[in-house]
Structure 1
Amino acid sequence: MADLSFLDWPFFDDRHRALAERARSFAASRVAPLAGNHTEADLDDLCRGFVKALAEEDFLSLSVSADGSALDVRAICLIREILGYHDGLADFSFVMQGLGAGPISLFGSDGQRARYLPEIAAGRRIAALGMSEPNAGSDFAGITTTAVRDGNGYRLDGEKMWISNAGIADVYTVFAKTDPAAGAKGISAFIVEADDPGFSVAERIPLIAPHPLGRLAFENCCIPADRLIGGEGAGFRIAMSNLDIFRSSVGAAALGFARRALDEACRWSNERQVFGSPLASFQTTQGKLGQMATEIDAAALLVYRAAWLKDTAGVRVTREASMAKMYATEMAQKVIDEAVQLHGGYGLVLGAPVEKLYREVRALRIYEGTTEINRMVIAGQTLARFAEGQ
């Protein structure tokens, strides 16, 4: 990244700056050579390779908490931004280990943590998160997958949709209704292993920016009772707490994409000759670059404010994380679009860095809370604070 001045901001400690330097070195040596126009055919092996490499450098241990200690959100965000700058699939491989295992890190029993988290941190098991369903995305309380007591365990029935790492994960955190009549209060969280009877990956779903994604099916899927996380009815709180940790990091990934787009735009504008002068010499180009740089810094301030607040105050940061995620992902979409525009026809060539970014960034405005949902969350909390202050 050309501009690293944000690392001097007071949001970070020296350990974060050292981590960023180590992550940049790792990304340049082990991620950049593999970055490219990934296809469905090479996805699974690439993701497994990225997970293994991240584990070897001990980065995955930052996204899981085997001992129940608080996760370092600033560290997670920094790694996502740096990986995202180089390759979206590497960023995806990193964060899914944390997001998929997050409910276990935050609410798992000592036995659950000991059984799963060291293996996930070491890259020997791949994690996934099963929340969305074919008819329940943003409306999480509307899920219909059920978990019914069955002897010494539970029987799961239903489907999950848009599940990242479907097909390559060994451990799935799955949310299901143990009390369908209770709405959000009837949701519980469970650990499902890939070889559990009655569990299957029913479909793999190709995307414009390929990564392992699919639909899960549960048909009389029986699991032991000790796979329940945090008690019956705790699922909604578990899910929201998990998002409270990782939602800011979506904004960080968007920052990585946007910084790469700005660097590519600056490089192209200096090299490209138009009417006998560099493209960068024109006021219209400078106006675009100035706006792009300003919006990137504004988004970074929101992202790292939310991460810093979570780390230092240990409170719920739903409002701040939603602001960071919403603004940064919208910003990145605009910045990357401008970078493509500056490249002209060359920006549309399949496999060009800005073309790849254009496809990769689009999903960030949807997953872990769409822009529209985050605006509603922010408005709700703003109105609540106004009412309290009257």
Structure 2
Amino acid sequence: MPAFSLDPVRTAWCAELRTTAAERLRPLAEKGEPGRVNRPLVAELGQLGLLRRLFTSGALDLCLMRESLAYACTEAETALALQGLGAYPVHAYGTPAQRDRWLPEVEHGTAVAAFALSEPGAGSDAAALGLRAEADGGGDGAAEGERHAQAPIGSTPRPASASPLAAEADGRSRWRLSGEKCWISNAPEADFYTVFARTTPGAGARGVTAFLVPADRPGLTGTALDMLSPHPIGALGFDAVPVTADDVLGEPDRGFRVAMGTLNLFRPSVGAFAVGMAQAALDATLAHTARRDAFGGKLKDLQTVAHRVAELALRTDAARLMVYAAATAYDEGAPDVPKRAAMAKLLATETAQYVVDAAVQLHGARALQRGHLLEHLYREVRAPRIYEGASEVQRGIIAKELYAETEASR
């Protein structure tokens, strides 16, 4: 079963990815400016065909890509993941015109995508979004044609249906977006944004619509944020930004499904990113403790050190197996994907934090020197416990799903 034993082809592919990341991607990453989109790196990911695989592979292969890249070059992993997160809603929920316009450029690494969900007052509570999408005449924004349902990764999404109502609207329905987004990866440098806005006040998660918003729309501004993590993060301002029915992803007032459908896929792969970092930290620790002289022997000869390293390996492998199991469940269309995805992200990101921190402790002060692998991982490993749903949110999802399963079994 692939969740527990990878076949030789996948094992060889992972090894190839690690080599490619070290030899071709890391040099480009090292030339990048922290906090800025590294477009040469994104373009190389496209040249290697990895961005195309975001839309043609299953969830397990997505996890293997992210884990393998993270092991050798976290910047390349993050660049790939952000392209997927921002563009997957277009792949799965977009119209043929939207997909034809943006996906080829995303796959080639010539257009940068971003997923704009979080707000200053609505980070983990996505249903509390305050960005307003106010009707701007030309028809009722809620009365749009039917859109296709969620398409699993690797499939060909169904085209939007040509209902009489949609034909009548003919793209004339329009809104104005007003408000702000914050903590948006790739902002403010992305070429387009998947933006979630409130179209029905007071409706909670049911009143949110997803829009595809090109970066050159009038009224859209952005500011870079100086964050601990080296990848680009910014805030966006929306001053009556115009959008029309042609920009809607999915259906009006059903954008929360777009967000959750995307996150259910990418949450296990966030765990894969974390596992890749944990494995890199573990391997560095094995090498260091085996050669470091201490107290008349090698550091690894101290029982406390050996037992600590064994614990790191145990937790890393346990997290990896849960990530693979969640990804396999997604690929098989299992009904408990939300619970498994939350479990995988929670366990893997918390594990990676523990492993990297312990690795720093076993290395000592040298691990905190600027430019050391562990110094880099120490900065990178913190953010995944927050984004795409903080650890506390994942625990809430798990509990909710468990009680729902219990109730359904009665």
TM-score normalized by structure 2?
0.87
Aligned residue in 1 for 2:280: 260
1:28 is displaced (CA, Å) by 2.1
- Which residue of the partner structure matches residue 289 of structure 2? 269
**1:14-25 matched pairs, under 5 angstroms:** 16-25=10-19
Matches within 5 A, 1:341-352: 341-352=361-372
Q: Residue in 2 aligned with 1:310?
A: 330
Alignment check: 8 A CA contact 1:74 1:304 kept: yes
1:208 aligns with 2:253: no
Residue 153 of structure 2 corresponds to: none
How many residue pairs end up in the alignment?
375
Q: Deviations over 1:185-215 (max 9, x none)?
A: 11000011111111111x2111112211110
Match of 2:175 in 1: 154
Q: 2:208 aligns with which of 165, 172, 187?
A: 187
Native 8 Å contact 1:244 1:317 kept in 2: yes
RMSD: 1.9
In the other structure, the counterpart of 1:44 is 36
State the partner residue of 2:80. 94
Task: Pick closer, same or farther for the CA change 1:300–1:335 going to 2, 3 Å.
Answer: same
- Aligned-residue offset at 1:121: 0.8
Question: Deviation per CA, 1:158-192, whole angstroms, max 9, x where unpaired?
Answer: 10000000022101000001111222111000011
| 1:127 corresponding residue in structure 2 | 113
Letter in 2 for 1:113: R
Per the TM alignment, residue 300 of structure 1 is displaced from its structure 2 partner at its CA by 0.5
Percentage of pairs with the same residue: 42
Q: Is residue 2:56 matched to residue 1:62?
A: no
Q: Give the SS at the match of 1:206.
A: coil
Q: CA deviation at 1:12?
A: 4.1
Where do residues 296-335 of structure 1 align in structure 2 (5 Å cutoff)? Answer: 296-313=316-333, 315=335, 317-335=337-355
Distance 1:256 1:216 in 2: 31
Amino acid across the alignment from 2:319:
A
Q: d(CA) in 2 for partners of 1:184 and 1:209?
A: 30
Aligned partner of 1:144 among 110, 130, 147 = 130
Deviation of 1:223 after TM superposition, in Å, equals 2.4
Distance 2:348 2:330 in 1: 18
Amino acid of the structure 1 residue aligned with 2:211: F
Report the Cα distance in structure 1 between the residues aligned to 2:334 and 2:404, rounded to whole angstroms: 21
CA contact (8 A) 1:259 1:296 kept: yes
More deviation in 206-215 or 168-177?
A: 206-215
> Partner amino acid for 1:283?
Q
- Structure 1 residues 35, 116: CA separation in 2 closer, same or farther (over 3 Å shift)? closer
> Which SS does the other structure have where 1:180 is aligned?
coil
Encode CA deviations 1:221-265: one digit per residue, 9 max, x unaligned: 112320111110110111000001100000000001100000111
**What SS does the aligned partner of 1:163 have?**
strand
* SS class of match (1:63): helix
Deviation at 1:120, TM superposition (A): 0.6
Give distance in 1, aligned partners of 2:407 and 2:254.
28
Aligned to 1:219: 239
Which has the larger displacement, 296-305 or 347-356? 347-356
Q: Which residue of 1 aligns with 2:310?
A: 290
CA gap 1:352/1:21 in 2 versus in 1, 3 angstroms: closer
Instruction: State the distance in 1 between where 2:312 and 2:183 align.
Output: 31
**Residue 143 of structure 2: aligned partner:** none
User: CA separation of 1:11/1:60 partners in 2, compared to 1, >3 Å: closer, same or farther?
Assistant: farther
- Select which of 148, 163, 171 maps to 2:192: 171
* Deviation, structure 1 residue 35: 5.3
CA contact (8 A) 2:26 2:72 kept: yes
Q: What SS does structure 2 have at the residue aligned with 1:21?
A: helix
Report deviation, 1:14.
Answer: 5.4
Contact 2:275 2:352 in 1 (8 A): yes
Amino acid aligned to 1:132: S
Normalising to structure 1: TM-score of the pair?
0.92
